[in-house]
Amino acid sequence: MKAKTAMAAGLASCHDCGGLQKMQGDHVQCPRCGSVMHLRKPDSLNRTWALTIASVILYIPANVLPITRTEALGKEQADTIMSGVLYFLKHGDWPLALVIFTASVAVPFLKIVVLLFLLWTTQQRSTWRPLDRTRLYRITELVGRWSMVDIYVVTILVALVQLGVLAQITAGPGALYFALVVVLTMLAAESYDPRLIWDAVDDQEEPVPQDALVREPQEQNA
């Protein structure tokens, strides 16, 4: 016995207005708002794979290249994300160091790992803990936007710390790569369709309870 789903009934919900429409094919125009409706996001896995792999490649220069360049009294200093974290730890400002490390290193890395895990399990048609994997996706989608906090800090510093000949802060190439990583992971999470997790579950028949198997012959004999 399979669970009744909207897809099994040939129904789809519009992504824009939420209207429910009977699907006569893979692509149907919503009669309510005119948007194109799909049973599942088109080419979801391939798009998410491409965006996630690109973010993995860009994650390396984002953490290796300097994110800021400081010029003061004729001297220039380049700082990466980790050098900034170590600087704040050295001077005892561990709360700020923890915030930067979490938002700029840990969150993007964990988001990439989670996306790779979801992609692999979905492509393998795994039925392992679908509810937990769906929750993991929702959490990843929610916290991913906070990865931009480091770019916000760099932007504020560049805008405020302009002291002429005394000091000047400019954004380094690492800031560009880091921003690209954040944008690509956000797009990857957006292109991933979590309903694909449940499609593998729906393809398998639900086991019949043992008490039902015992009860059925007894009812027939009665």
Q: Is residue 208 part of a domain?
A: no
Q: Are residues 55 and 114 in the same domain?
A: yes
pLDDT class of 202 with cuts at 50, 70, 90: confident
Structural domain boundaries, residue 26: 1-39
Q: Considering only CA atoms, which of 75, 93, 72, 78 is closest in space to residue 166?
A: 72
Q: Are residues 16 and 56 in the same domain?
A: no
CB atoms within 10 A of CB 80: 18
More confident residue, 135 or 32: 135
CB atoms within 10 A of CB 65: 17
Q: What predicted TM-score, i.e. pTM, was given to this entire model?
A: 0.80
116-169 confidence digits (pLDDT tens): 999 999 999 999 999 999 999 999 988 866 666 656 665 655 555 555 556 677
Q: Are residues 30 and 47 in the same domain?
A: no
Q: Is residue 212 part of a domain?
A: no
Q: Is residue 218 part of a domain?
A: no
pLDDT class of 109 with cuts at 50, 70, 90: very high
Q: Given a cut of 70, is residue 205 above it in pLDDT?
A: no
- Number of domains the chain contains: 2
Q: Quickly list DSSP for 20-61.
A: EEE-SSSEEE-TTT--EEESS-TTHHHHHHHHHHHHHHHHHH
More confident residue, 177 or 35: 177
37-94 confidence digits (pLDDT tens): 888 888 999 999 999 999 999 999 999 999 888 877 777 888 898 988 898 899 888 9
Buried b (16+ CB within 10 A) or exposed e, 182-216: bebbbbbbebbbbbbbbbbbbeeeeeeeeeeeeee
Asked if 8 and 15 touch (Cβ cutoff 8 Å), the reply is: no
More confident residue, 213 or 23: 23
1-10 confidence digits (pLDDT tens): 455 677 777 7
